[in-house]
Amino acid sequence: MGSAAIDELRNNASVKIKRYTVPGIKDLPVACKKLINEQSCDIVMALGMPGSDPKDKICAHEASTGIIHAQLMTDTHIIEIFVHEDEAKDEKTLAWLMDKRAREHAHNVIKLMLRPYDLEREAGTGQRQGYEDAGPVGL
Amino acid sequence: MGSAAIDELRNNASVKIKRYTVPGIKDLPVACKKLINEQSCDIVMALGMPGSDPKDKICAHEASTGIIHAQLMTDTHIIEIFVHEDEAKDEKTLAWLMDKRAREHAHNVIKLMLRPYDLEREAGTGQRQGYEDAGPVGL
Amino acid sequence: MGSAAIDELRNNASVKIKRYTVPGIKDLPVACKKLINEQSCDIVMALGMPGSDPKDKICAHEASTGIIHAQLMTDTHIIEIFVHEDEAKDEKTLAWLMDKRAREHAHNVIKLMLRPYDLEREAGTGQRQGYEDAGPVGL
Amino acid sequence: MGSAAIDELRNNASVKIKRYTVPGIKDLPVACKKLINEQSCDIVMALGMPGSDPKDKICAHEASTGIIHAQLMTDTHIIEIFVHEDEAKDEKTLAWLMDKRAREHAHNVIKLMLRPYDLEREAGTGQRQGYEDAGPVGL
Amino acid sequence: MGSAAIDELRNNASVKIKRYTVPGIKDLPVACKKLINEQSCDIVMALGMPGSDPKDKICAHEASTGIIHAQLMTDTHIIEIFVHEDEAKDEKTLAWLMDKRAREHAHNVIKLMLRPYDLEREAGTGQRQGYEDAGPVGL
């Protein structure tokens, strides 16, 4: 997923990228904070793949809570991109989903930093990262 | 929802409004904090529409926890306005609910900032944002 | 509930009271913190009535977590008094419970601030706020 | 439980003890922090008895989370000693468990402060506070 | 588990190790923070074995949340290594799993501190600590 995100960022913006790999998703919050505080990153993408076991779901919740906390401590966006192992019916779909979601979130990062009006225009139109968009709610 | 809230605020008070759109609800806490710290907002409305999947419910819980945390870090109110995808039986009702809840919360924002005695008078009368009010508890 | 608590406080101690009404229970944590930091309150009573829907239960949990956090940030007690909509079998009992619990917690506030030895004497005797006390555990 | 813990501490170490009683378990986190910050306590024992209702279980979780937070804010140990109302089959066993657990945790407090090597020696031997120890895992 | 981790660290790197044993897993977060703040540790391994009771699962969740918080407060990695009592079918497998997981996490610690590129190379290849690796997702 990291490579897909980096590829998409490089193809669509002129950015300097730091990559930091950690053993598990619960190591992500502090890693993100270190990238912000020690490597002066302006925004971070936190990519991970939680397992399908109930224990793994709790780990993902703990990691997410920590990632939100890290953002609040630094006033800096950290875009969480988790693909849950049980989100796809087979390995091929899972690999496709990981690639697609990483790339679409990379676009969100670019919009958030460089083109905020694009995000505003899309708000409420049911954009989903990975699968088909849900579409806007009809009035 | 953002447009409905802004419309209602503009029609009922003389306020300066900053709009900040983020990709997902988990990006709301830090966005709210940035609006307070970097844009000097006195109060923030955080609007979002969590999906109906159990995973989405957990995301909403994480976002809410972060929004409360952001308030405590800034001593500033952030009014959370979430409409859950499964709160209405069809798309038309959902759209109606989103509009209505956004507008009623905009009124709460105005009361909290400008007319605190109105809120006090309504306390314990079972006001609900969106659907019918629940009414006061009979003695 | 607010009026019952205030009535009981006034009847049993000489205290100065600030009242601050918020739209929902998730607005309580920051409101309590503002009362402490901006209004110099020595102790706060946070009164609310969570609904009976599962979503409301999660809101109550988020509010409670925030109220504990606000206390830790200020080294000040905030006494949470929640009456859940589903704690009573009918509206009349609910109203009675709200009044009774608010008054009993008002007494706890007075003890915590002025008569700590009364609390110590009652510890482990199964005091409950609202319904019948549970009684001490027999040895 | 408080008396049992104090008795055991006094019989096994020369310590100065401050006792602070609060109305409910959710008042424990800030009380512990105040004992550390305002009364200069080096370690705190937080004793409580959560009820058996699901709502009480959530309260216990909120209190525990706050107690861990208070420790992190002060770099000071707070030993949580909760006996859940539903941990024993009858009142007599419950009273016995409360006494036993309080005393065994008092020993842990002494070890943590004065005899850290005793704790290290027992690590992984399945010590439980209250009921029978679980025993070490066989290799 | 502590001994296995220390053994593996000593055999694979030249490091200075501080050992700190606490009575229960909920005492781990502050202990880790004290090792960082008071003993100047650059990284911490937090080893524990949560029980199989639902209450124990909640304790583990609280401890994990606190460990992530401690990392964010110190900008320092704390590698959590929990083996849940119910992860293995018998005591022998459990003992094997504890030893294996502690050793594999010790390797992760070394990689995180000294050989970050090894972690990057393994990212997305489904490494699991203890049981068989899950393998990479096929494209």
Q: Dmax of chain A from CA atoms?
A: 48
In angstroms, the CA B95 to CA E8 distance is 59
Report yes or no: C50 and C85 within 8 Å, Cβ to Cβ: yes
C95: which chain B residues are within 8 Å (Cβ-Cβ)? 137-139
Contact E29 D116 (CB under 8 A): no
Distance of alpha carbon D35 from alpha carbon D75, whole angstroms? 13
CA distance A30 to A99: 25
Lowest mean pLDDT among A29-33, E39-43, E123-127: E123-127
Q: Do C137 and D94 touch (CB under 8 A)?
A: yes
pLDDT higher than 70, residue E24: yes
Give the Å distances, CA to CA, from D88 to B124, D56, D81, D96, E59: 40, 16, 15, 9, 19
Q: Does residue D107 sit at the E interface (CB-CB below 8 Å)?
A: no
**pLDDT at residue E129 in the model:** 76
Residue to mutate among B21, B34, B93, B99, with most A CBs inside 10 A, is: B21
Token duo for residue A64: 């997410």
Q: Provide the pLDDT for residue C133.
A: 62
Six-digit token pair at A54? 């109930």
Q: Residue C134's pLDDT is what? A: 58
- How far, CA to CA in Å, does E51 sit from each of E66, E75, E86, E136? 18, 30, 7, 31
CB-based contact D95 C137, cutoff 8 Å: yes
What does the H/E/C string look like for chain B?
CHHHHHHHHHHHCCCCCCCCCCCCHHHHHHHHHHHHHCCCCCCEEEEECCCCCHHHHHHHHHHHHHHHHHHHHHCCCEEEEECCHHHCCCHHHHHHHHHHHHHHHHHHHHHHHHCHHHHHHHCCCCCCCCCCCCCCCCC
The pLDDT value given to residue E139: 44
pLDDT confidence of residue B139: 44
The closest CB to that of E108, out of A23, A33, A98, belongs to A23
- Return the pLDDT at D73: 98
* Cα angle value D9/D15/D19 (rounded, 5°): 75
Confidence of residue E138 (pLDDT cuts 50, 70, 90): low
Between A38 and A135, residue with greater pLDDT = A38
pLDDT tier at B1 (50, 70, 90 boundaries)? confident
Is the pLDDT at E90 greater than 60, yes or no? yes
D62 interaction partners in chain C (CB closer than 8 Å): 61, 64-65, 68
* Residue indicated by tokens 């076991």: A53
Token pair 């809570």 in the structure block, residue: A65
State mean pLDDT over D75-84. 97
Instruction: Report the percentage of chain E scoring pLDDT > 90.
Output: 78
pLDDT band at B133 (very low <50, low <70, confident <90, very high): low
Query: How sure is the predictor about A139, in pLDDT bands with cuts at 50, 70 and 90?
Result: very low
Asked if D49 contacts D98 with a C-beta cutoff of 8 angstroms, the reply is: yes
* Residues sharing a CB contact under 8 Å with residue A12, sequence separation 6 or more, in sequence order: A106, A107, A110
Contact D132/C at CB under 8 A = no
For the segment D79-90, the average pLDDT, to the nearest whole number, is 93
Domain residue ranges of chain C, discontinuous segments joined by +: 2-122
State mean pLDDT over B108-137: 79
The pLDDT tens digits for E41-73 are 999 999 999 999 999 999 999 999 999 999 999
Query: Is pLDDT above 90 for B70?
Result: yes
- Range in A97-101, A125-129, B62-66 with the lowest mean pLDDT: A125-129
Q: What is the pLDDT of residue C125?
A: 72
Q: Do residues E72 and A73 touch, judged by C-beta distance below 8 A? A: yes
Q: What pLDDT was estimated at residue D129?
A: 75
Q: What is the ipTM of this complex?
A: 0.91
Tens digits of residue pLDDT in A11-20: 999 999 999 9
Q: What is the pLDDT of residues D17-70, one digit of tens each?
A: 999 999 999 999 999 999 999 999 999 999 999 999 999 999 999 999 999 999
Pick the residue of D36, D44, D75 with the most E CBs within 10 A to test the interface with E by mutation. Answer: D75
Q: How does DSSP classify residue C38?
A: T
For chain D, what percent of residues have pLDDT higher than 70?
91
Rg (CA), chain B: 15
**Distance between CA E106 and CA E108 in Å, rounded?**
5
Read off the pLDDT of residues C58-116 as tens digits, 9 standing for 90 and up.
999 999 999 999 999 999 999 999 999 999 999 999 999 999 999 999 999 999 999 98
Band the pLDDT of D134: cuts 50, 70, 90.
low
pLDDT digit string, tens, across residues D98-108? 999 999 999 99
Please tell me the CATH code under which domain C2-122 is placed. Answer: 3.40.50.960
Q: Which two tokens stand for residue E80?
A: 């959590």
The residue with tokens 């016995």 is D96
C-alpha span between A126 and E118 (Å, rounded): 39
Residue B123: predicted pLDDT? 79
Residues of A whose CB is below 8 A from E67: 26
| Residue-wise pLDDT tens digits, C123-137 | 777 676 776 665 565
pLDDT digits (tens, 9 = 90+) for A67-118: 999 999 999 999 999 999 999 999 999 999 999 999 999 999 999 999 988 9
Contacts 24+ apart (CB under 8 A), E89-92: E91/D137, E91/D138, E92/D138, E92/D139
Average pLDDT, chain A: 91
